[in-house]
Amino acid sequence: MKCNVVAVGTELLLGQIVDTNSSYIGEQLAAVGIESHLQLKVGDNLARVVAAIRLALQDADAVIICGGLGPTHDDLTREALAEIMGAPLEHNEQIAALIADLFAKRNRYMAPNNLQQAQVPRGATIIEQTRGTAPGLMCPVGEKVMYAMPGVPHEMHDMLARAVLPDLLRRSGEASVIKSLVLRTWGESESALNERLDPIIHELESLGNPTLAFLASGWEGIKVRLTAKASSDTDADALLSIWEQKVRALTEDLVFGTNTDTMESVVLNLLEERGWTLGLAESVTGGLVGGRITSIAGASRVFKGGVISYASDVKFDVLGVEAGPVVSERAAMQMASGAQRVLGASVGLALTGVAGPDEQDGEPVGTLCVGVAFPNGQTFSTHSQLPGQRDQMRQFSVITALAFLRKLLLSEPR
């Protein structure tokens, strides 16, 4: 069973409203094992809405349309459905009475155009409304079906769960689930990661289930998504587990987490497991690392605070960095030790570098030096040359520094 999605509304194309409905519908379809290969957005134009729905139906058994069912002149989904069905729109007195009653109960004036919502294509089944005024519609097209729901999210969620998904499952004749597992990686390009996983990719292409895809996510790393279809959650999880282990065998040094893990959440967990706290000294990133860390719930159990040592004299006077170039591994290690001391933290992490537009201390734009100070007095450093313009380089600096700390924590005896 395959069901595609069409979101209707010019406001979606203009960026005035973000289309969260399509992603929600896709997630819910996957959860019950119904495939969806195409999602479209289309403006409020009758010919284009009709064309979009027909396109979505071409290689699918069903299409879900959200939006365009309201009372105004630009709500055209009913007319589009009627045209595709080759049927006239008919006034439904029951729906009209329900709409009028709803306005009466709220003691509000009902403009006549609200009765537009009582227009139903002949042959359609009504999906009753429980939260608003516009009913949904279930419209047969030969052996296929079109489902139309309001664009208001809470109204759509209700109809999807109450009527659309049960009808799709009945039509499919089988219950199944689609589940995904995301492995989060850092440290290698997408092409190099693809090369590593070539043997698995070729094997999965011949099997067809599960599937593997790459999602390049900038300074969040590269995600490797495994998606499995099975008859139950348990079977899907078992299948994903088998292939997760195969992927990890080829990428173990690159994988830092799964699903919703982030590099900062993983580092915080590693520190908390050891009973250690963290203090930061940030120059090139100007507080970005601290911002990422404090976005994690429970970070206060580990994170002591940070020193934004942007000016050189703050590095010298507050953190105790010795006179000399401030973009160097030496300076980064001394900054880390200074943050450890000033903030009373178990571990100090420091970043200094050159975001541009000009070089500094003889170092080119893109230079990053990271320092780490551990409780036993040991200090470590690394030097990287990062790509991108100023903002991109600074964001890459955050995950690069946290990845370096993670690597050290994993190699440090507890």
Q: Are residues 225 and 274 both part of a single domain? A: no
Whether the per-residue pLDDT at 373 is higher than 70: the answer is yes
Q: Are residues 211 and 351 both part of a single domain? A: no
Whether the per-residue pLDDT at 413 is higher than 70: the answer is no
Q: What is the CATH number of the domain that holds 184?
A: 3.30.70.2860
The pLDDT confidence band at residue 284, using thresholds 50, 70 and 90, is very high
Q: Are residues 195 and 114 both part of a single domain? A: no
Whether the per-residue pLDDT at 98 is higher than 90: the answer is no
Q: Are residues 18 and 133 both part of a single domain? A: yes
Q: Are residues 182 and 98 both part of a single domain? A: no
Residue 291 neighbours by CB under 8 Å, 6+ apart: none
Q: Are residues 63 and 164 both part of a single domain? A: yes
Is the separation of the CB atoms in 132 and 152 below 8 Å?
Answer: yes
Q: Are residues 73 and 149 both part of a single domain? A: yes
Three-class secondary structure of residue 339 per DSSP: helix
Q: Are residues 8 and 144 both part of a single domain? A: yes
Q: Output the pLDDT for position 173.
A: 83
Domain boundary among 258, 289, 316: 258
Is the separation of the CB atoms in 360 and 327 below 8 Å?
Answer: yes
Q: What is the CATH number of the domain that holds 395?
A: 3.90.950.20
Can you name the residues that pair with 214 across neighbouring β-strands? 224
How far apart CA 352 and CA 356 sit, in angstroms, is 12
Q: Are residues 283 and 399 both part of a single domain? A: yes
Q: What is the CATH number of the domain that holds 62?
A: 3.40.980.10
Q: Are residues 86 and 125 both part of a single domain? A: yes
Which ranges of 152-307 does DSSP label H, i.e. alpha helix? Answer: 153-159, 165-172, 190-196, 198-207, 233-251, 263-274, 288-294
How far apart CA 293 and CA 285 sit, in angstroms, is 13
Q: What domain range is 390 assigned to?
A: 263-411
Domain boundary among 153, 172, 191: 172
Lowest mean pLDDT among 105-114, 117-126, 244-253, 351-360: 105-114
Number of domains into which the chain is organized: 3
Question: pLDDT tens for residues 42-71?
Answer: 999 999 999 999 999 999 999 999 999 888
Task: Give residue 308's identity as a one-letter amino acid code.
Answer: I
Average pLDDT, the chain: 92
Q: Are residues 21 and 161 both part of a single domain? A: yes
The encoded tokens of residue 400 equal 């690069």
Whether the per-residue pLDDT at 136 is higher than 80: the answer is yes
Phi/psi for 66 (5° steps) reads -120, 135
Q: Are residues 17 and 125 both part of a single domain? A: yes
Is the separation of the CB atoms in 271 and 409 below 8 Å?
Answer: yes
Domain boundary among 172, 201, 231: 172
| pTM tops 0.85, yes or no | no
